[in-house]
Structure 1
Amino acid sequence: MTEPVKGPASYFPSIEKKYGRPIGEWQELIRSSDLTKHMELVNWLKSEHGMGHGHANALVAHTLKEG
Structure 2
Amino acid sequence: MAADEVVWHGPRTLTKVRQVCIPLELLRALSLDAGSELQFALSLDGNEIRVRPTGRSRMSHDQQEAR
Q: TM range, normalised to the smaller chain?
A: under 0.3
TM-score by length of 2: 0.25
TM-score by length of 1: 0.25
Q: Which has the higher helix share?
A: 1
Q: Which structure: larger Rg?
A: 2
Q: Which has the higher strand share?
A: 2
Q: Which has the higher contact order (CA 8 A, sep 6+)?
A: 1
